[in-house]
Amino acid sequence: MIKQYIKQAIQLLKENKLVSCISIIGTALSIAMVMVVVLLFQIQLNGYYPENNRDRMLYVQGTEATGKSGNDTNRGAMSAEVVRECFYSLKTPEAATAIYSDDLPLSLPDKRLYKEYSVKFTDDRFWNIFDFRFISGKPFSKADFLSGIPKAVITDKAAREFFGTTDVLGKSIVINFIPFTISGVVKEVSKAARDSYASVWVPYTTNDQLMSLQYADGITGAFGVCILAKRAGDFESIRKELKQQITRYNEGKKLYKVGFGENPISRLDIAMGSEEFKKVDFKDFILETGSLVLFMLFVPALNLIGVTQASIQRRKSEVGLRKAFGATYSKLVSQVLFENLVITLLGGIVGLALSFVLLSFSKDFLLQNNTMLNMDMLFQPVTFVAALFFVLVMNILSAGIPAIRIARQPIVEALKGNE
Amino acid sequence: MIKQIVKMLWSQKRSNGWIYIELLIVFGALWAILDALLVDAKTYYSPLGYNIENTYQFKLAKMNNQAPGYVPDSLIDLSEAGSLLKLMEQIRKNPEVEEVCATFYSCPYSFGNSWTSIVPTEEADTTKANEESFQVRRVTPEYFKVFRVLDKEGKAVTPQLEGIQNAVVLSADLEKQFYHNQSAKGKKVSFRGQIDGNQVAAVCQPVRPSDYEISAPCFYQVLTGKLLEEYVGYFGAQQSEFCVRMKHAKTEEDMNHFLEDMGDRLTVNNLYVYGVKKLSDQRSQLLSYRERNMKIKFSLMAFMLINVFFGIVGTFWLWTENRRSEIGLRMAVGSSKFKLYKYMNLEGICLFSLTIPFVILFAANMAYFDIMDTARLPLSFWRFLLPMGSAWLLLAGMITIGIWIPARKAAKMDPAEALHYE
């Protein structure tokens, strides 16, 4: 039976080439637009090099110091003290790391230069939380971090730009007059991996200004924190333990108390648009993105309804005949839907391909400038499931009403074949 | 003629209905997008009150005590403000540099956002002084030259500041709010709790915080002498925004070379320049959210227009198939190819124009419930006509192109064969 439907659908496609083309391109365009939205969300949500464990991660992007008397607040990032007292001592998660990012010029020992690179000041735990591929060498160790030894990890790209080779272990680069010994070279990272992206990583203990930067009773400072849970299910118990840590820490404070608003937030929250103190509810996200997606499906669907309607009306007598010989309502509806599915599927395949093209053309304004897109970011099973889902939605939107209409027609009228 | 077309359209409402709904939705959405774009464009192209062409921010830092070349406190003979002024002087001397200034959380496109309350001094002790806060920009006198800030008459501001202690510069809209139609120059304004007041040295043109915002009353506090010492002492010299206007445009690489050539002149005691960023880059970074938003709007517009094109082609293609007999008849009684196209196009435009009343109703509703952006551009006849007219023209153009394809096919038909269907 299905074979019969497919044959019929293909015959119909051939019969009116222009209209078929329009239907397929229309569907493709709509699926492509929707898939760009899906892919952008996916780039935010799913893990890829070196943030492979995003499903187990929690993020603290905002820190708030509130006066114990009065109501003045100081919002920003956290000081090294808060990192140490509240996060390094957490027992439930696998690890927690503190990160400060800056754009700084890198110089050679014998020459001061001014071209800026992205530098991350962090700790040794950073390397356990993110899965960097080391081309050579190794990260700075816990001992290096604790004693503030100026060692640096650098990307292969930066190494090539600076030294013309990736074989740079033991060589020195200068940041703010301090020479750092290169201890490891890693593969370049996409800017979309915001928490791990940099050209150079160094221990933050080497920067005494960063260590001593603090406002509001030593609470706010420069750092954000990423936490890696042992299991995704641990999020609640981590939040609970953190709460205890905060209470304990605040007891020792005279003027201010620390708070993190809705933080720590999960990767899903970030993908839905949460940042710093602003947390986006699931409901708001669905309302906003859902209506955009629906709009992008609905406008072309209106086109297709018109076209499907007209082409089915021409087969009125055929439907009447089938009905007279006992075809049921559901059979007729499913036949129309199935025939239409061939068009939408074709459109879906073209659309999915088109969405990759669209995304790489428009990535400069949709993502950050010069964001590198790679295969494992885009080609994930969920991409194809999502595309198929939207194809089916499109199918029902565009052929549902014409199918029901024709199947409902009284036999006599249908057999007559007139409009 | 039009009456007849409307009648025809009504009789075929079943097949035309879907495309009509699509045109209605797209017309409404296009109007809303174009209206938002009009407001943005109108705001964007009005004067900013300053100019950032060829200006750069030099990034300052203090040397780490482990760094080679670190000067211990005991050996430093200058105050922090002194070091800052010396650094400014050293850079100003370079022939490629036009002017240098320093600001605190106040340079254009910085994230700085300090607000404080001031009142005209004569009202300071009366009860009618209400404590309204205004944005304050704390700048050294050269600021007005670096960013080409002019007074109301279009003259330079910096020379007018000479010899005045603790001068302030009001924006024209703040002058209007304080003194109505009188001139503020030479009058005094007071900060909270201050009795003697600061002299208004000049009144500058209205200042807009960024390209997409309208101007708000604000003022400049000019930092010289003791006041500068006080602020540098409080924030630290490395926290100041060190802005430089170059005489000629330079690329990023040129600028890096410029700094490399400056060598030791970029360091005074422990204060040094570690990097540079172009203010226009900072501007695009700050406005990237807006630009992204605008590009998304344009993509959606393109998407909708293409859809309308497809919809019109599809609908009228089927129209020519279903009405072959009618076309044949028209041709048989002498309708030319062009006339046929004109007729079809008129029918399309008529169908589309029937959406106008509903879209006007939608727009009126938006205005009534105050959903439109009236803060930046007040409602007016033109505000409605311009976006609505452009949306209409765009869609009508799309329909005209779309109908041309099926019309060509219809015109190719042989009248004898077409009549055959009758």
pLDDT band of A376, cuts 50, 70, 90 = low
β partners of residue A303 = none
pLDDT band of A178, cuts 50, 70, 90 = confident
Q: Which residue has the higher pLDDT, B69 or B253?
A: B253
Lowest mean pLDDT among A5-9, A93-97, B205-209: A5-9
For B57, B110, B215, the CA distances from B47, given in Å and listed in that order, are 22, 19, 10
Q: Would you kindly state where each structural domain of chain B is located, as residue ranges? A: 2-46+288-420, 71-269
Percent of chain B with pLDDT over 70: 96
What are all long-range contacts of A81-86, with beta carbons under 8 Å and residues at least 24 apart? A81/A214, A81/A218, A81/A219, A81/A221, A82/A218, A82/A219, A82/A221, A82/A223, A82/A249, A82/A258, A83/A223, A83/A225, A85/A245, A85/A249, A86/A242, A86/A245, A86/A246, A86/A249, A86/A258
Residue numbers in A near B323 (CB within 8 A):
none
**pLDDT tens for residues A127-151?**
999 999 999 989 999 999 999 889 9
Q: Say if residue A417's pLDDT is above 60.
A: no
Amino acid, res. B36? A
Percent of chain B with pLDDT over 90: 13
Q: At what angle do helices A316-324 and A381-408 cross, to 10 degrees?
A: 80
Q: Say if residue A193's pLDDT is above 90.
A: no
pLDDT band of A121, cuts 50, 70, 90 = very high
> Does the beta-carbon distance from B14 to A298 stay under 8 Å?
no
pLDDT band of B243, cuts 50, 70, 90 = very high
Residue numbers in B near A298 (CB within 8 A):
25
Nearest to B316 by CA among B256, B401, B373, B386: B401
pLDDT band of A186, cuts 50, 70, 90 = very high
Q: What is the average pLDDT across B60-87? A: 84
pLDDT band of B22, cuts 50, 70, 90 = confident
Q: What is the average pLDDT across A46-65? A: 86
What is the DSSP secondary-structure string of B122-159? GGTTSTT----EEEEEEE-TTHHHHTT-BBTTS-BSGG
Q: What is the ipTM of this complex?
A: 0.77
Q: Which residue has the tokens 């807006």?
A: B290
Q: At what angle do helices B381-412 and B279-322 cross, to 10 degrees?
A: 40
Q: Say if residue B368's pLDDT is above 70.
A: yes
Highest mean pLDDT among A215-224, A327-336, B51-60, B361-370: B51-60
Question: What is the Cα–Cα distance from A24 to A18, expressed in whole angstroms?
Answer: 10
Average pLDDT of the residues of chain B: 84
Half-sphere exposure of A56 (CA within 13 A, CB side): 16
Q: What is the average pLDDT across B387-416? A: 82
DSSP A32: H
Nearest to A306 among B15, B65, B66 (CB): B15
Average pLDDT of the residues of chain A: 84
Nearest CA in chain A to B409: A18
H/E stretch holding A60: strand A57-60
pLDDT band of A377, cuts 50, 70, 90 = low
Q: What is the average pLDDT across A219-235? A: 88
Q: Taking the model in full, what pTM does it have?
A: 0.78
Q: What is the pLDDT of residue B106?
A: 86
Question: What is the Cα–Cα distance from B80 to B65, expressed in whole angstroms?
Answer: 16
Q: Which residues in A360-378 are b (16+ Cβ under 10 Å) and which e? A: eebbebbbeeebeeeeebb
Nearest to A415 by CA among A318, A271, A277: A318
Q: What is the average pLDDT across B5-13? A: 77
Q: What is the average pLDDT across B123-141? A: 74
Which of B13, B22, B259, B277 should we substitute to test contact with A (largest number of A Cβ atoms within 10 Å)? Answer: B22
Neighbours of B150 (CB within 10 A): 16
Q: Say if residue B102's pLDDT is above 80.
A: yes
> Does the beta-carbon distance from B69 to A112 stay under 8 Å?
no
Q: Say if residue B15's pLDDT is above 80.
A: no
Q: What is the pLDDT of residue A369?
A: 56
H/E stretch holding B246: strand B241-246
Is B26 at the interface with chain A, CB within 8 A?
Answer: yes
Q: Say if residue B127's pLDDT is above 60.
A: no
Question: What is the Cα–Cα distance from A29 to A300, expressed in whole angstroms?
Answer: 9
Sequence-distant (6+) residues with CB within 8 A of A304 are: A23, A26, A27, A394, A397, A398, A399
DSSP B107: S
Residue numbers in B near A112 (CB within 8 A):
260, 263
Q: What is the pLDDT of residue B407?
A: 77
Instruction: Dig out the tokens for B290 from the structure.
Output: 């807006």
CB contacts under 8 A, B 39-68 vs A, are 61-68
Q: Say if residue A194's pLDDT is above 90.
A: no
Q: What is the average pLDDT across B39-59? A: 89
Is B264 at the interface with chain A, CB within 8 A?
Answer: no
pLDDT band of B129, cuts 50, 70, 90 = low
| A·B CB contacts under 8 A | 119
Q: What is the pLDDT of residue A419?
A: 47
